[in-house]
């Protein structure tokens, strides 16, 4: 069963409220079905993220794993992106060991934690003889979830849970992948709004869309740069205080603005 648990919307930066809807980062949680973890084996559980409208890209991923097991040092969890890229969340915590917790890894009970790149504590080395669940809170995964940034969220996500040692058995009780996506017209893996805020992309017309993506000369908004747009530019020729036809922003509509228009000639996004 595929479950879309909840939707979380977040604004990517303070002034984003003034931007168009398509600049808002969006966080969704997709949960994997619970299952018993095969003793001395592995299981896979999948969830499919459906296609979304517009070009959105992953800008952040966190993964929650909750499992019961009397010896978490037996366990490994790996997240697989629809593209096949895998990120090891934790691989037999405590192994290899330098003294503590011992050759069999962390012997604590149970996991209920979020794997997040930003976490301070590494899941691999977190261990306690008293804490239950022994892996809890926010923990840094073994692999880098940032490696999924810039990829499309759609498709089948897979969680692989493995138990390396026979004897102790456990259950995957809950697991979700939390995917934060944002419009990414230039496909650089970064929210467009963040590109603009950081100066990576220009947004001369202030529409919240990086100029490299926008149809800056489409004055009439028909989705293409045509003769009607040329007419608008020519009618504004000369000194111009902040008019739309001043594509270079120099206060005048001159040949340089004409050059920009001609270079964008045709349907928007065609180049």
Partner 1 sequence: MSVKQLFAPAADVESGLLRLPPPEATPTRSDALVLIDAFAPANGRTGSVRFHVQHAGGTLRLMPLGRDASVWRGRLLAGESVIPLAGSDALVARVTEQYASQSAFGLDEPTRVCELDVPAGDCVVEFFAEVPAGTTAVLVVDDGADRKDGPALVAHLASRVNRAGSELELVVRGESRLAHGLAPAATRGVDVTGATVTWSDGVVEHARSVRPMRDGSVRVGFAAARRGNAVVRVDGLVRDAGGSQHQRSLFYLARIADGAAIAGHALVHSDALTPDWVRCDLAIVGAVPGEAVFACAELWAVEGKGSGQGDGARARVLGWIGGIAEIEGSADAPFARLGFDRRQIDLGEGERLVFRNVRLHERDGFAPLDVRAEVAPDVRVTLPNRNQAKPRGALDWAGPPGIASVAVPEISTLIPPVGGHALVLSHGYCASSNPWPLAQFASDAWPYANLGQNLSNDVFAVDLATRAAQFKSYGIVGHSQGGNAALHLHTFYWSGLDWAGSGRLMQCVGSPLEGTPLAGNLAAFGQALGIQCGANFDITPDGAAAWLAGIPTASRAKLFTHTTTFTNVPFVYDYCSIATDFFLSDPEDGVVEHSSGHIVGAQDMGLRTGWCHVSGMRDPAQTGDANRNAIMNAQGAR
Interface residues toward partner 1, by CB under 8 A: 70-71, 73, 98-104, 107, 127-130, 165-168
Assigned token pair, 26: 């969006």
Sign of the CA dihedral with 104 first, then 106, 111, and 117 last:
negative
- Smallest Cα–Cα separation from 64: which of 189, 172, 182, 181? 172
Based on CB atoms, which residue is closest to partner 1, 128 or 263? 128
Instruction: Please say whether the beta carbons of 175 and 65 come within 8 A.
Output: yes
Residue 118 CB, shortest distance to partner 1, in Å, is 18
Residue 261 CB, shortest distance to partner 1, in Å, is 57
Residue 100 CB, shortest distance to partner 1, in Å, is 4
Residue 130 CB, shortest distance to partner 1, in Å, is 6
Residue 2 CB, shortest distance to partner 1, in Å, is 36
Sheet with 75-80, strands from edge to edge, namely 42-49, 155-163, 75-80, 86-91
Based on CB atoms, which residue is closest to partner 1, 70 or 249? 70
Strands 86-91 and 238-239: unpaired
Based on CB atoms, which residue is closest to partner 1, 139 or 185? 139
* Residue labelled with tokens 């503590």: 100
Based on CB atoms, which residue is closest to partner 1, 138 or 226? 138
Instruction: Please say whether the beta carbons of 39 and 167 come within 8 A.
Output: yes
For helices 227-235 and 255-263, the axis angle rounded to 10 degrees is 170
Instruction: Please say whether the beta carbons of 59 and 189 come within 8 A.
Output: yes
- Smallest Cα–Cα separation from 72: which of 89, 87, 85? 89
Reduced to 3 states (helix: H, G, I; strand: E, B; else coil), residue 173 is: strand
Residue 121 CB, shortest distance to partner 1, in Å, is 11
Instruction: Please say whether the beta carbons of 189 and 57 come within 8 A.
Output: yes
Residue 105 CB, shortest distance to partner 1, in Å, is 9
Based on CB atoms, which residue is closest to partner 1, 71 or 77? 71
Based on CB atoms, which residue is closest to partner 1, 103 or 231? 103
Cα gap 82→17, rounded to integer Å: 32
How far CA 242 is from CA of 151, 219, 227, 233, in Å, comes to 38, 14, 22, 13
Based on CB atoms, which residue is closest to partner 1, 123 or 217? 123
Residue 74 CB, shortest distance to partner 1, in Å, is 9
């Amino acid at each position: 069963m595929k479950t879309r648990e909840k939707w979380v919307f977040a604004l990517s930066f303070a002034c984003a409220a003034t931007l168009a809807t398509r600049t808002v980062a969006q966080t969704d949680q997709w949960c994997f079905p619970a299952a018993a973890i095969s003793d001395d084996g592995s299981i896979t559980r999948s969830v499919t993220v459906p296609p979304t409208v517009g070009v959105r890209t992953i800008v952040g991923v966190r993964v929650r794993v909750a499992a019961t097991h009397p010896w978490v040092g037996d366990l490994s969890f790996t997240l697989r992106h629809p593209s096949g890229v895998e990120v090891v969340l934790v691989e037999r915590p405590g192994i290899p060991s330098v003294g503590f917790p011992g050759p069999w890894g962390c012997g604590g009970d149970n996991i209920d934690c979020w794997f997040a790149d930003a976490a301070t504590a590494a899941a691999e080395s977190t261990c306690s003889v008293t804490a239950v669940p022994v892996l809890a809170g926010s923990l840094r995964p073994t692999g880098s979830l940032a490696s999924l940034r810039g990829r499309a969220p759609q498709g089948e996500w897979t969680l692989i849970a493995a138990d390396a040692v026979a004897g102790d058995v456990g259950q995957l009780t809950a697991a979700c992948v939390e995917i934060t996506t944002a419009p990414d017209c230039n496909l650089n893996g970064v929210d467009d709004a963040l590109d603009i805020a950081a100066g990576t992309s220009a947004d001369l017309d202030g529409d919240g869309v990086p100029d490299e993506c926008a149809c800056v000369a489409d004055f009439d908004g028909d989705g293409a740069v045509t003769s009607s747009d040329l007419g608008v530019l020519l009618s504004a020729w000369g000194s111009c205080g902040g008019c739309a036809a001043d594509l270079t922003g120099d206060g005048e509509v001159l040949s340089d603005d004409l050059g920009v228009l001609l270079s964008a000639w045709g349907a928007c996004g065609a180049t």
